[in-house]
Copies of this chain bind each other. A is one copy, B any other.
Amino acid sequence: MSRSNRERTEQTRQALIDAGRRLFVEKGYAETATPEIVAAAGVTRGALYHHFEDKRALFRAVIECEAKAVAEAIEAHSASCDAPRATLIAGASAYFDAMRAEGRTRLLLIEAPAVLGLSATAAIDAENAEATLRAGLAAMLPEAGTMLEPLTSLLSAAFDRAAIAIEAGAERRPYEQAIAVLLDGLADHLRR
């Protein structure tokens, strides 16, 4: 049984990413040792350091996978209603759905900023979810003008906090309602 090099690399990388993801979620980045990861992946540390520059690079790969998965889930579920408000509400719902994946909030919202740095993390996923949000806000609030950027940033943070609260066991409905009220209030207020 012989595998092509392409296959070997792909399978090993994926096994390491999967094992790393599981352990990073379970115990956090700092408490997860590379011997443990490679054992779970069924390879040796040699393979790990052949495919990734260091432990952090493996973590970055895990985070990039997660961010991509979130972006695709939102993309797929983007009920592109032409009503801007409905589009935004649907997008928020899709985001909460996507963030329900086991440990995803911990990985993307807690560990990644600390391990990879704030700017690196922002560069990875902000360009995904936050750009969508900005576009939605621009459509719903044409009067926002120079405040579009700050509002996008603040609401994005609110979405993240809601996702964390929901994964922590909070009811989802009140948070979706609160988001809707925030958006409607913005529309009301800026329209004057």
| Interfacial residues, chain A to chain B (CB-CB below 8 A) | 28-30, 106, 110-111, 113-115, 118-119, 146-147, 149-151, 153-158, 160-162, 164-165, 168, 170, 174-175, 177-179, 181-182, 184-190
Contacts and interface: CB of A to CB of B under 8 A. Distances in A.
Nearest to A185: B185
25 contacts: A30-B30, A30-B115, A106-B118, A113-B114, A114-B114, A118-B164, A118-B168, A119-B168, A146-B174, A150-B177, A153-B162, A153-B165, A153-B175, A154-B161, A154-B175, A154-B178, A154-B179, A155-B158, A157-B158, A157-B160, A157-B161, A181-B186, A181-B189, A185-B185, A185-B186
Given A153-B175, A181-B186, A185-B188, 20 more contacts: A106-B118, A110-B114, A110-B118, A114-B114, A119-B168, A146-B174, A147-B181, A149-B174, A150-B162, A150-B165, A150-B170, A150-B175, A150-B178, A153-B161, A153-B162, A154-B161, A154-B178, A155-B158, A181-B190, A185-B187
A28 B151 contact: no
Contacts of A178: 147, 150-151, 154
Contacts of A156: 161
A66 to B, nearest CB: 16
Contacts of A114: 28-30, 110-111, 113-115
- For the residues of A in contact with B, the DSSP-based class is helix
Nearest to A177: B147
A174 to B, nearest CB: 5
Most buried by B among A119, A170, A179, A181: A181
A107 to B, nearest CB: 11
A34 to B, nearest CB: 14
